[in-house]
Structure 1
Amino acid sequence: MSDTQSFIESRPPSVAHLFLDRVEATPDVEAYRYPVPAAAGGPDEWLSLTWSQAAERVFNIAAGLMALGVRPEERVAIASSTRLEWILSDMGVMCAGAATTTVYPSTNADETAYILSDSNSRVLVAEDAAQLAKARERRAELPDLRHVVLIDPVTEVPGDGDDDWVLTLAELEKRGAAHREQNPECIKETVAGLRPEQLATLIYTSGTTGRPKGVRLAHDSWSYLGRAIHATGLLNPDDMQYLWLPLAHVFGKVLIASQVSIGHPTAVDGRVDKIIEHLPIVRPTYMAAVPRIFEKVYNGVAAKARAGGGAKYKIFKWAAEVAREYAKVTQENFRRTGKASAPFGLTAKHAVADKLVYAKIREAFGGRMRACVSGSAALAPEIGYFFSGAGIHILEGYGLTESSAASFVNPGEAYRTGTVGKPVPGTEVRIAEDGEILLRGPGIMQGYHGLPEKTAEVLEEDGWFHTGDIGELSEDGYLKITDRKKDLIKTSGGKYIAPTEVEGQFKAVCPFVSNVLVIGAARNFCTALIALDEPSIMGWAKENGLGGKSYAEVVASPQVEKLVKGYVDRLNEGLQRWQQIKKFRVLPRDLDIEHGELTPSLKLKRPVVEREFKGLIDEMYAGSNEA
Structure 2
Amino acid sequence: MGTQYALPIEMLQKWAKEKPNAVYLRQPVNRQIKTFTWSECYDIVLRMASALQALGLKPGERVSILSKNCAEWFLADFAIQAAGFIATPIYYTASAETISYVIDHADVKAVFMGKLDDLAASEAGIGSDVIKISLPYDTVECEHSWDELLKSNEPLAEDKLAKPDLDELFSIVYTSGSTGNPKGVEMSWRNIAYGAWAPTQSMDLGGEERLISYLPLAHITERALIEHLSLYAGVVVSFVESLPTFVDDLRGANVTMFLSVPRLWMKFQSNILAKVPQPKLDRLLSIPILSWFVKRKIRKQLGLTNAKIIGSGSAPISAAVLAWYQKIGINITEGWGMTETAGLAVSHHPYRADKIGSIGMPLAGLETKVTEEGELLIRGDAVTKGYYKDPKLTAETIEEGGWFHTGDKVELDKDGYLHITGRVKEIFKSSKGKYVAPVPIEAMLFDNTYVEQACVMGSDLAQPAGIVFLSPETTQGLSRDEVRESLEETYKAINSKVESHLKLSSIVIANDMWTIENGYLTPTMKIKRARLEDKYDDVVRHMPDRPVVWEDECVTEAVRSV
Q: What's the CA shift string for 1:439-496, capped at 9, x where partnerless?
A: 1011111211101111111011211100000012234332111111111234344544
2:465/2:505 contact within 8 Å kept: yes
Q: What's the CA shift string for 1:267-289, capped at 9, x where partnerless?
A: 12274443323333222111111
Alignment equivalent of 1:150, drawn from 134, 149, 163? 134
Per the TM alignment, residue 568 of structure 1 is displaced from its structure 2 partner at its CA by 3.1
1:73/1:198 contact within 8 Å kept: no
Once the two structures are overlaid, the 10-residue window that deviates more, 284-293 or 269-278, is: 269-278
Supply the AA of the counterpart residue of 2:539.
L
Alignment equivalent of 2:206, drawn from 230, 236, 259? 236
Q: Distance in 2 between matches of 1:475 and 1:132?
A: 52
Which residue of 2 is the match for residue 461 of structure 1? Answer: 400
Per the TM alignment, residue 155 of structure 1 is displaced from its structure 2 partner at its CA by 9.4
RMSD: 2.6
Per the TM alignment, residue 265 of structure 1 is displaced from its structure 2 partner at its CA by 0.8
Per the TM alignment, residue 357 of structure 1 is displaced from its structure 2 partner at its CA by 3.0
Match status 1:503 vs 2:442? yes
Pairing 1:387-398 to 2, within 5 Å after superposition: 387-398=325-336
Which residue of 2 is the match for residue 381 of structure 1? Answer: 319
TM-score, normalised relative to structure 2: 0.90
Match status 1:282 vs 2:253? yes
Which residue of 2 is the match for residue 491 of structure 1? Answer: 430
Alignment equivalent of 1:33, drawn from 26, 38, 50? 26
Supply the AA of the counterpart residue of 2:153.
G
1:222/1:443 contact within 8 Å kept: yes
Per the TM alignment, residue 612 of structure 1 is displaced from its structure 2 partner at its CA by 1.7
1:243/1:288 contact within 8 Å kept: no
Pairing 1:323-402 to 2, within 5 Å after superposition: 349=286, 351-352=288-289, 354-355=291-292, 357-366=294-303, 367-402=305-340
Alignment equivalent of 1:314, drawn from 279, 291, 306? 279
Question: For residues 586 and 218 of structure 1, do their structure 2 counterparts lie closer, same or farther at Cα, with a shift above 3 Å needed?
Answer: same
Q: Distance in 1 between matches of 2:122 and 2:319?
A: 43
Q: Distance in 1 between matches of 2:236 and 2:26?
A: 7
Per the TM alignment, residue 497 of structure 1 is displaced from its structure 2 partner at its CA by 3.2
Question: For residues 514 and 219 of structure 1, do their structure 2 counterparts lie closer, same or farther at Cα, with a shift above 3 Å needed?
Answer: same
Count of matched residue positions in the alignment of Structure 1 and Structure 2: 544
Per the TM alignment, residue 132 of structure 1 is displaced from its structure 2 partner at its CA by 6.2
TM-score, normalised relative to structure 1: 0.81
1:132/1:150 contact within 8 Å kept: no
**Which secondary structure state, in structure 1, belongs to the residue aligned with residue 524 of structure 2?**
coil
1:34/1:47 contact within 8 Å kept: yes
Match status 1:190 vs 2:175? no
Which residue of 2 is the match for residue 172 of structure 1? Answer: 149
Give the percent of matched residue pairs that are identical in Structure 1 and Structure 2.
Answer: 26
Q: What's the CA shift string for 1:494-521, capped at 9, x where partnerless?
A: 544321111112112x222221111133
Pairing 1:225-624 to 2, within 5 Å after superposition: 225-254=195-224, 255-269=226-240, 271-306=242-277, 313-317=278-282, 349=286, 351-352=288-289, 354-355=291-292, 357-366=294-303, 367-414=305-352, 416-508=355-447, 510-537=448-475, 539-541=476-478, 560-620=483-543
Which residue of 2 is the match for residue 91 of structure 1? Answer: 78
Which residue of 2 is the match for residue 213 of structure 1? Answer: 183
Supply the AA of the counterpart residue of 1:581.
L
Q: Distance in 2 between matches of 1:352 and 1:577?
A: 46
Q: What's the CA shift string for 1:505-562, capped at 9, x where partnerless?
A: 2112x2222211111333221211111223333x334xx5xxxxxxxxxxxx566445
1:533/1:590 contact within 8 Å kept: no
1:18/1:223 contact within 8 Å kept: no
Question: For residues 133 and 96 of structure 1, do their structure 2 counterparts lie closer, same or farther at Cα, with a shift above 3 Å needed?
Answer: farther
Question: For residues 45 and 526 of structure 1, do their structure 2 counterparts lie closer, same or farther at Cα, with a shift above 3 Å needed?
Answer: same
Per the TM alignment, residue 73 of structure 1 is displaced from its structure 2 partner at its CA by 2.1
Match status 1:125 vs 2:112? yes
Q: What's the CA shift string for 1:326-352, capped at 9, x where partnerless?
A: xxxxxxxxxxxxxxxxxxxxxxx5734
Unaligned 5+ residue runs, structure 2?
A: 546-556, 558-562
Q: What's the CA shift string for 1:344-389, capped at 9, x where partnerless?
A: xxxxx57346235322212223311112111101111111122223
